[in-house]
Structures are given as C-alpha cells and as structure tokens.
Amino acid sequence: MAESEPTSETRQGIGVSPGTAYGPVVQVAPPVRPPAGEPSVDDQEAALADVRAAFESVAVSLEERATRVEDTAQQILKATALIARDKGLVKAAAKELAAGHGRANSIANAIETYAVQFEKLGGYFAERVADLRDVGSRAVAAVLGVPAPGVPAFSEPSVIVAEDLAPAETATLDRSLVVGIITEAGGRTSHTAILAAQMGIPAVVQLSHATEIPPGTPVALDGDSGEVTIAPDMALVTAQRERAARRAEALAALSGPGLTADGQPVALLANIGGVDDAVAAGALDLEGVGLFRTEFVYLSATKAPTVEEQTEIYRGVFAPFEGRRVVVRTLDAGADKPLKFADLGPEENPALGRRGLRLSAERPDLLDAQLEALATAARETGADVRVMAPMVATAEEAAWFARRVRENGLPKAGVMIEVPGAALRARHVLDEVDFGSLGTNDLAQYTMAADRMQGALSDLLDPWQPAVLDVVGAACEGAASVDRPIGVCGESAGDPLLALVLVGLGVTSLSMAPSKVPVVRLALSLHSVAECRALAEAARAARTAADALHAVRESARAELIELL
C-alpha cells in the first residue's frame, strides 16, 4: 500500500459562515499552560513586576491590534485589553506569589479566581470566561518568554484550524490570507461564528478531530453545508465551488415569509435554546421562533429560579422578536434531565417516565412560576408569545395545561405532539388548545420504540421512516378536522426535501436551526401545495425509509435537487 498518497476524506461539521474555501491547513497554537512544579520566587517584588509587565504587554498588543480592525472586533479587543490591565488581577497574582506559587502559575490562578466567579454568575457573565482565559494564556506565555498562543505567521492563502478561536484571534485574522476557518469546538452562536460571518470568511465549526489534520494538508470546506473534504481532488473542489456559487445565488434571490410556489404561507421559524440564540436569530430574515427550549433556565440551578430571575431571561429572549411569534416550550425535564430541586427519583425508563408535562402535574408550582414570568416578559417586550407543553398524551392533559396558561394571562396555549397516542387522537387533543407542534425526534423514538440515545438504533430513528410519516399524517388530519394550525419543530423541518413532504401532509409552519431557513424557503418556493401532497403520497407509499427518500428525490424539482 502506498503511504505517500493522501486519501480524500469528507467529514461533516456545522456550516456557520457561507461560501466555499480551498487551501492548506494552518494549525493555531493551543493556549499556553503554566508549567507544573514551577519553583516559588525568592524576590516577591521583582516577580510581581514581571507579572505586571506580562499583563501590560498583553494589554498593549491587544490595543495595538484594536487599531487595525473595525466595529465589533475593535470593541471585543478593547474590552479584552481592559481586562488585561485590571488592578484586581495583579492583586490576586500578588497573593498567589506570596502563597509560594511561581510567576506563571500565579497568573493562571489569579485568572481562575475570576473565571470561577463568572461561571457561577452564569448567562452573559459566563461567556466572558473565554476572553479572561485568553488574557491569562497570553500573559503566561509572556512571562515564560514563549511565543504567544494563536495563529502562527504564514504567507500563503490558508485555512485556519483550531480547537476554538479566541475572539482576539478571530477579530485580527488577515482577510487576504485566511480563506476559511475550521474549529473542532464552538457552536452556531460562538464568537468564531459571528465574527467569521461578519468578515465574510467561510467557516465550519464542530468538526471532529479537526486539530489532528497535519499542517499543510489541503482541505476544501463548504460553509453552507458544513462539509469538509481533506485532500480533495481538484474536480471535487471545482464542482463544490460551482454548486455553492449557484446555491448562494438562488438563496440570495429569495427573502421574506415562507410561501409555496402557489402562494400558500408556511411560517419559517427558528429553534433556539437561550438568549444568545435569540439575539442571533432575531437579526435574521425569519418569522419568529417555533421552539424556545427553556431547560437552560433550570438545569444548572440548585434551587428553583424565582419569577424575577426567569422574567429577566425571558425578556432577553423575547426582545429581539417584538411583533413576531415566539413559541415557548415549558419546562421539559425528567429522570434523564434531572433537576436538583425537583428530583422525583431514578426511573427504569426515563423516556417513558414522569417527564415533561407529567413533571409539571406533580410540581404545578414550577409551571405557574414559569407561566407568570413568561406573561410578564411577553407584556413588556411586545413579542407574540405562545406557550406549549411537552409530552402531552391525552385530551385531559391538554385541557389542564390550557387552563393554567390562560389563568396566568397568556392568550395562546398549545401542545407538543410527540406521543403517538396524542398524534392519533389529535382531533380531541388539539380541540382543547390553540395549536399543535410535532416534535419529530421524540415522535420517531416513540413510534419506532427506539431510544434516541442509542446510536446503534439510528436507522430506526430515520425521519424518513414511512411509519413516522403516517403518524405525522394522522396528527395533521386531526388538526385540520378541528381547524388548528400544526407545525413541526424537529430536525426534519430543516431538511428541504422532508419539509416539502411535511407541508404535503398538512403542516403549516416549520421550525429549524436558523441556518437552514434559506434552503427550506427555496424548496417551498419551487413546489406548489399539490406537488407537496404528491411528494408526501410518494413517501408514504414507499416500503422503507431509503425508498421514501429516493422517491422524493426522484419527484422533486430538479432545480432544487442539483443545489443540495
């Protein structure tokens, strides 16, 4: 076997900044850590002077870089420089030196005393921890006299690869040399994603083993699809580039509310899980939020969050959506996502246990506090807030929830349809409320009796399983018979082909990762409702999930298929 021949390999990450890029990999130097067993210092004053000089040099270099960039990047760098020059850090480092630690460890420990405080504060404050640790790592490098962490010098247009990029690094990248960015960590709303999109550099995050790609290896990345090909052949690079250009053109030509080719509205909405997501999604061309998961408000808390604490968080989520809809899913916890303050004990089958609305039924105080906070924040922000309960199985449960929602002064109550029993009886369940929302991930898990946490069962959980489509179809028929809107807020809503099938089954809104909205908008614009119905029929007529997908690919418009 020839070992010098590089083999081409394609991996999937998350595309966060559109466009394609091709170039050799430049690996970013990881953060510098203080050495273990660093001796304590004899001359405290001299050591403290070194520490102070290290922080000062970091501040100066950050400020110097701030002069070379604009707007957001400049603000981030200036704020980070202010941290490096903080008197509190030097004081904390002096204490560490006095306690017998060496210079580098004293700096790192001083940083950690603040990092821990910020993490405890949570929310916005916890997000500053990355900036703080970046300052620490740079100061440690300075005091040790080693090269600063970050992007090494390079002269050829390259793709930057890192575990994650500190804001200071992303902000100061040379646009003419950096053709693409890949990170192993990070997320859709990380600094890397926001700044890369702002700078127009194609970027992919969450690419596994990215830091193990040898420097100099050519890679091709697609910042829309999230695909990264290591050592690609040139034909693929060219094809990818052309397809991406055609897709970008097609997506850019469309905007505004989702409409089928014959003009039926299908609301295009975002799935979000926190304030950052809300701010990011609020700036985009979409009609609102179809699923706001509220678990983050509770999961790290050791005691039940107060109405006031919750109101503040919800205000932050709703504010970017004044005049647009935000569908809130009430607390969805249970044995697999236990709460420290409402633990009902271990269960043998958490997915089938006291979770979702079933937990709220045992702890209505938690639900009432959440509804009160949601109502207050809704009034203050002017967002069109609608509330829905997870894990509803019966019409009685739906009625119980709707009454509590209305008693708390919220105008619209709905339920998640994720239990097959509720889907089959949607006519009665939805008659009690104003709308339904299909959680297709859980609906597939319960329809196919396959645990979502079991990777080995993923074939059974394929959203193209005809049985799952049948259950979705039954729920849509029930909703239509009592004239209630029914949406989808699972991953399948963001798949352009599956989205067409769902609309054909009778779904009236689609909620997805915000980055998927443009391609779903395009898919809808190319198909009439009648065509969507034909696609749905073709999918349901198939014998297997693979056949269903194949049938829809064959029958959907070629203009769409060639762009996917």
Q: Among the candidate windows 5-13, 79-87, 201-209, 441-449, which touches another protein by CB under 8 A?
A: 79-87
CA angle 255, 290, 405 (to 5 degrees): 145
Angle subtended by helix axes 191-199 and 71-84, to nearest 10: 140
Q: How far is the CB of 529 from another protein (least distance, A)?
A: 41
Of 391, 378, 237, which Cα lies nearest the Cα of 315? 378
CB of 49 to another protein, least distance (A): 20
> Among 14, 316, 337, 323, which Cα is nearest to 181's?
14
Q: How far is the CB of 92 from another protein (least distance, A)?
A: 9
Nearest by Cα to 135 from 97, 168, 170: 168
Instruction: Report the site for another protein in 127-156 (rule: CB under 8 A).
Output: 128, 132
The verdict on 124 binding another protein (CB under 8 A) reads yes
Q: What CA–CA distance (Å, rounded) separates 387 from 291?
A: 10
Residue 304 in contact with another protein, rule: CB under 8 A: no
Cα distance between residue 494 and residue 206, in whole Å: 18
**Binds another protein (CB under 8 A): choice among 27, 62, 109, 114:** 114
Q: Which is nearer to another protein, 76 or 499 (CB)?
A: 76
Is there binding between residue 75 and another protein (CB under 8 A)?
yes
Residue the block writes with tokens 């981030």 = 76
Min dist CB 555 to another protein, Å, is: 49
Which string of x and - marks every residue 346-385 that binds another protein (by CB under 8 A)? ----------------------------------------
Shortest distance, CB of residue 84 to another protein, whole angstroms? 10
Using rule CB under 8 A, residue 87 touches another protein: yes
Radius of gyration of the chain (CA): 26
| 3-state percent breakdown (helix, strand, coil) of the chain, nearest 5 | 50, 15, 35
Could you tell me how far CA 480 lies from the centroid of its own chain?
A: 32
d(CA 532, CA 500): 5
Are the C-beta atoms of residues 163 and 185 closer than 8 Å to each other? yes
Nearer to another protein, 88 or 100 (CB): 88
79 binds another protein (CB under 8 A): yes
Tell me the closest approach of the beta carbon of residue 121 to another protein, in angstroms.
4
| Shortest Å, Cβ 106 to another protein | 16
**Shortest Å, Cβ 80 to another protein:** 10
Cα(202)–Cα(17) distance, rounded to whole angstroms? Answer: 5
- Per-residue CA distances from 365 to 50, 300, 306, 337, 436 (Å): 56, 19, 11, 19, 24
Q: Strand, helix or coil at 128?
A: coil
Q: From residue 239, how far is each of 236, 513, 554 by CA, in Å?
A: 5, 26, 22
| Minimum CB–partner distance for residue 309 and another protein (Å) | 9
Q: Is 315 in the site for another protein (CB under 8 A)?
A: yes
Query: Which listed residue (38, 52, 56, 78) binds another protein by CB under 8 A?
Result: 78
Name, in order, each residue with C-beta under 8 angstroms of 275's C-beta and a sequence gap of 6 or more. Answer: 123, 124, 313, 316, 317
Q: Does 461 bind another protein (CB under 8 A)?
A: no
* Residues that are catalytic: 191, 489
The whole-angstrom separation of Cα 271 and Cα 290 is 6
With vertex at residue 213, the alpha carbon angle to CA 207 and CA 216, rounded to the nearest 5 degrees, is 130
Judged by beta carbon, residue 133 or residue 428, the one nearer another protein is 133
Position among 88, 214, 409, 411 found at the interface with another protein (CB under 8 A): 88
Binding-site size, another protein (CB under 8 A):
21
| DSSP run (H or E) holding 444 | helix 440-447
What's the rounded Cα separation, in Å, for the pair 486 and 477? Answer: 10
Binding of residue 319 to another protein (CB under 8 A): yes
Specify the stretch interacting with another protein by CB under 8 A; choose among 47-55, 57-65, 308-316, 403-411. Answer: 308-316
| 13 counts as binding another protein under rule CB under 8 A | no
Residues 250 to 269 in contact with another protein, rule: CB under 8 A: none
Stretch that binds another protein, among 76-84, 149-157, 233-241, 288-296 (CB under 8 A): 76-84
Q: What is the DSSP letter of 40?
A: P
86 lines the binding site for another protein (CB under 8 A): yes
* 121 lies in the binding site for another protein (CB under 8 A): yes
Q: How far is the CB of 89 from another protein (least distance, A)?
A: 7
Q: Which is nearer to another protein, 87 or 209 (CB)?
A: 87
Task: State which residue, 319 or 457, has the beta carbon closest to another protein.
Answer: 319
83 touches another protein (CB under 8 A): yes
Among residues 82 and 234, whose Cβ is nearest to another protein? Answer: 82
Neighbours of 109 (CB within 10 A): 18
| Contacts of 541 by beta carbon, 8 Å cutoff, 6+ apart | 551
* Least distance (Å) between residue 117 CB and another protein: 5
Candidate ranges 80-88, 145-153, 334-342, 463-471; the one touching another protein (CB under 8 A): 80-88
Q: Which of residues 389-448 bind another protein (CB under 8 A)?
A: none
Q: Is 117 a binder of another protein (CB under 8 A)? A: yes
Q: Which stretch binds another protein (CB under 8 A): 84-92, 408-416, 521-529, 539-547?
A: 84-92
Q: Identify the sign of the CA torsion 467, 470, 474, 480.
A: positive
* Short-list 180, 186, 125, 177, CA closest to 152: 177
Return the number of the residue (95 or 246) whose C-beta is nearest another protein.
95
Nearer to another protein by Cβ, of 54 and 179: the residue is 54
The first and second tokens of residue 77, run together, are: 């760098």
**Of 124-132, 222-230, 387-395, 498-506, which segment contacts another protein by CB under 8 A?**
124-132
Confirm if 336 and 342 have CB atoms less than 8 A apart. no
Binding site for another protein (CB under 8 A): 75, 78-79, 82-83, 86-89, 114, 117-118, 121, 124-125, 128, 132, 312, 315-316, 319
